[in-house]
Every structure is written in C-alpha cells, then in structure tokens.
Amino acid sequence: MYTQGLDQQGNKGEDPEAVESAELLAAFQARIDAEAKIEAKDWMPEAYRKTLVRQISQHAHSEIIGMQPEGNWLTRAPNLRRKAILLAKVQDEAGHGLYLYSAGETLGTSRDQMVAELLRGKAKYSSIFNYPTLTWADIGAIGWLVDSAAIMNQIPLCRCSYGPYARAMVRICKEESFHQRQGFEIMLFLSRGNDAQKEMAQDALNRWWWPSLMMFGPGDENSKHSAQSMAWKIKRFSNDELRQKFVDVTVPQAEFLGLRIPDDDLEIDEKTGHYNFGEIDWQEFYDVLAGNGACNRQRLAMRQKAHDDGSWVREAARAYATKHAAKKAA
Amino acid sequence: MTDKNWPLYEVFIRSKSGLSHRHAGSVHAADDQMALDHARDVYTRRSEGVSIWVVRSSEIVASDPEDSSALFEPAADKIYRHPTFYEIPDGVENL
C-alpha cells in the first residue's frame, strides 16, 4: 500500500462523482461480487472511498481514545504481573490505531487530517470509551466484554473488500484475542475471590453490559449506512446479527463466572438456541454519541493535551533530521 | 506553530531468516533511523521479525493498475511456459 497519492484528491479540479459512468460502477460492483480485493490505486467510486475513510478513521480514533480508560489504571494495577499485561495491552491499542491510520492513508487522506477531524470533534469514535473506569474490575470487564464485542465486529472485517483495511484487521484480530483473555482472567480471579471482589466484578458487569451491546450500533431498521456497506462487502453481517452472536457466546461465560447479566428479560429460546434479551436504551446511545456521555469532554481534552504536549517533540525531531540531512549533503 | 507532516515510510519485515521481506504497513518518521525505531515498535511487538527494511513511500516506483492488462495479460496465453502444458506418456519417469 503506497500512499504517494496523499492529498491529491482535492487538486483534480473536477467533481470526481461526475466521471463515474454507469459502466465503471457496474465493473466495480462486478469485481466486488466476484470477491476481488480492491487495492489503494485501483479505481473506486468516491462514495466507497468516503465510506472507508469515515469507517477506518473512526476505527483508528477508537483505538487511540480507547487507551485512556485503561491507561487510567496503569499506575494502580494490583500487582506487577497485571501492570505489565495492561501496559502491553495499552501499547497494542496504540499500535492498532497506527495500523488503521496507515490503512486509511492509502485512500488519500493523511493521518494529520484524520487526527485534526477528531480533535475538532467532527470525527466520531466508539461510544463505549466515553464511560468511566471506576474500579479495577472495569479493566476486566473491558477486556472480556468490550474486546469480545470488538472481535465479533472485526473478524468479518478481515474479509472486507478493501485490501489494506482487511490486512490491518488480520493483524489486529490476532492481538485482540490476548486482550479478551486477559480481561476474562481478571474477572475469573475476582469472581473467585472474597465477597467484596465478587461484588466488584458484578458491579463492573452491571455497568458495562448494556454499553457493550450498543457497540454493535443501531438496530438494522435504523442503521443508515448498512445496506450499501453490505453491497460493497465492507460489512458482512448486520448489526443485529453480530449483537445476537455476542449475547449467545457471552451469557454462558457469565454463568461460568457465577455473575448475573443485568437483564430481567434474558432467556434462552429453546427452539432457536439463541438468547432473547431486553430492550436497549437507544436514547442513552444517541446521547453519548452526541457528546453527552460521562467522559466525552474529558477524553477529547486529554487527547488534545497529549497532541499539544507532543508538538515540541515533533518539531525537535524535524529540526534534527533537517540538520543531519544538511550535514550529509555537505 | 507549523506542524508539518513527517514523511511516510513503507515497512518491510523478514519474519525469519530464510524468508524474504514482506510489506507490513507504513509509519511516519522524521528520518530513517526514527522510521526503523517506529517500525520496530509498531510491527514487531510479538517477535514478528528478525530484520526490517524501511523506505520512503515517495521513493517507491509502482506500476499503474490501469496498465495492468498491457503488462500482465500477455503472459496468460503463453501456457507453454508451464510444465503442465506438456503431455508425458505413462512409463516415462524422472521428468
């Protein structure tokens, strides 16, 4: 994936959508239908490019912002083993963000542009990271629930029609599995601990369960981008399908832990083998998305501060590189 | 303050000796050494490599997908370049 094409899009001086003839669009769709991968320099409809830039940058921002709720517990991890593991996990999240920005840049939008959109509050990131991590058990619940939900979403993306995104997802999915297991292990230790520890685990599950279900996005009847993304094979399963799958695999895990899922309507449907679950509070989802979750402002302010605090480092590195390049040339 | 982009480098990793380097992704860095350092941190956290190449993305010369039929299709009708083109009678061995 070579990205010399950065920023070129704006310079063509013509409306790219105007030159999208019916033949070109049909040929593109035929390639997608034949399961061919689209690569960075291949022709693609502008709407396909825009959809991918939006999705990949949101995904990258989620990884980067996602470092904050967990970073909150780095200095207070209960022991050195847990601390080393959490440090490795947070470092992975940074790595995932970078793989994804790298994939996003192949579409002609620079990382700086994507980051600027985040800092301006224009680009979205996953609503889940606007919830606070109040206790150590939250670190367990995030790994177990949030990373499981992320894996459900991401495994199908490994087969997404856009090559650079699919390849980044393969790498990410390999690493997510460690995240999920370390989270489950934390929950396992707490749920086998004393009463206070069990209570802490249950409390974390109570707070993270519903937001985790919301991670799959609105129900299929309200999902505005879904149909086109499915046709382009960016998306392979609907939001509701993935949510159901998540509930089906997670409920038995909660039972193993001896924890109760906070949903009075939860019951297995003997006929289908799937779990029926209660109504999701979508108002909460839209409120958090609109910027009114518990931590939205804090997350963006911290990202902005990190960006500003790093600016002298970026500047110094550039000055050093320029000086040495000049010395070499002399 | 001007916050100019660090240049982009493409990263190639040799996963173990005996295998060739393979494209892994890209990193931004101010200079070559920093590109190597970043590539190491981003792409080899789990022993994925024993050697890294980085090269400025702007230095890569790539073929244009629009030329791909002119470049690659002529090979398709030269099936006699493949050993399976030739019919060898039963009983002939070591061929």
Query: What's the pLDDT tens digit per position in A49-84?
Result: 999 999 999 999 999 999 999 999 999 999 999 999
Q: Which of A19, A314, A322, A324 to mutate to test the interface with B (most CBs of B within 10 A)?
A: A314
Bridge partners (DSSP) listed for residue B25: B11
User: Which amino acid is located at A126 in the chain?
Assistant: S
DSSP secondary structure, B52-89, as one string: EEEEEGGG-----GGGHHHHHGGGGG-GGGSGGGS---
Average pLDDT over residues B65-76: 90
Tell me if A50 sits within 8 A of A114, measured CB to CB.
Answer: no
Average pLDDT over residues B56-76: 92
The residue of chain A with its CA nearest to that of B11 is A1
pLDDT at A15: 58
Highest mean pLDDT among A15-19, B19-23, B73-77: B19-23
Q: What is the CATH number of the domain that holds B44?
A: 3.10.20.520
CA distances from A144 to A205, A216, A293 (A): 10, 16, 22
Confidence of residue B38 (pLDDT cuts 50, 70, 90): very high
DSSP state for residue A20 in the 8-state scheme: -
B37: in domain: yes
- pLDDT over 90 (residue A5): no
- pLDDT over 70 (residue A13): no
Query: What's the pLDDT tens digit per position in A272-289?
Result: 999 999 999 999 999 999
The residue of chain B with its CA nearest to that of A3 is B57
Q: Which residues of B27-54 are buried (b: 16+ CB within 10 A; e: fewer)?
A: bbbbbbebbbebbbebbbeeeebeebbb
pLDDT at A261: 98
B48: in domain: yes
pLDDT at B2: 43
Tell me if A321 sits within 8 A of B10, measured CB to CB.
Answer: no
pLDDT at A20: 83
Average pLDDT over residues A293-301: 97
Average pLDDT over residues B13-19: 97
Query: Is A2 an interface residue toward B (CB < 8 Å)?
Result: yes
Mean pLDDT over each residue of chain A, to the nearest integer:
93
Average pLDDT over residues B43-70: 94
B76: in domain: yes
Query: What's the pLDDT tens digit per position in A173-232?
Result: 999 999 999 999 999 999 999 999 999 999 999 999 999 999 999 998 887 778 899 999
- CB interface of B with A, residues 7-66, below 8 Å: 8, 10, 23, 25-28, 30-31, 34, 41-42, 45-46, 57-58, 60, 62, 64-66
pLDDT at A14: 52
Provide the ipTM: 0.87
What is the reported pTM?
0.91
For residue B46, give its domain range: 8-85
B93: in domain: no
Q: What is the percentage of chain A residues whose pLDDT exceeds 90?
A: 90
Per-residue H/E/C for A61-104: HHHHHCHHHHHCCHHHCCCHHHHHHHHHHHHHHHHHHHHHHHHH
Query: What's the pLDDT tens digit per position in A18-60?
Result: 678 899 999 999 999 999 999 999 999 999 999 999 999 999 9
The total domain count for chain B is: 1
Average pLDDT over residues A227-253: 95
The first and second tokens of residue A159, run together, are 């087969």
B90: in domain: no
B30: in domain: yes
C-alpha angle A110/A113/A116, rounded to 5°? Answer: 150
Average pLDDT over residues B50-75: 94
Confidence of residue A7 (pLDDT cuts 50, 70, 90): very low
Query: Is A105 an interface residue toward B (CB < 8 Å)?
Result: yes
Query: What's the pLDDT tens digit per position in A301-318?
Result: 999 999 999 999 999 999
Cβ-count burial of A133 within 10 angstroms (0-12 exposed, 13-18 middle, 19+ buried)?
buried
Average pLDDT over residues B87-95: 92
Q: Which of A93, A102, A308 to mutate to test the interface with B (most CBs of B within 10 A)?
A: A102
Query: What's the pLDDT tens digit per position in A260-271?
Result: 999 999 999 999
Mean pLDDT over each residue of chain B, to the nearest integer:
92
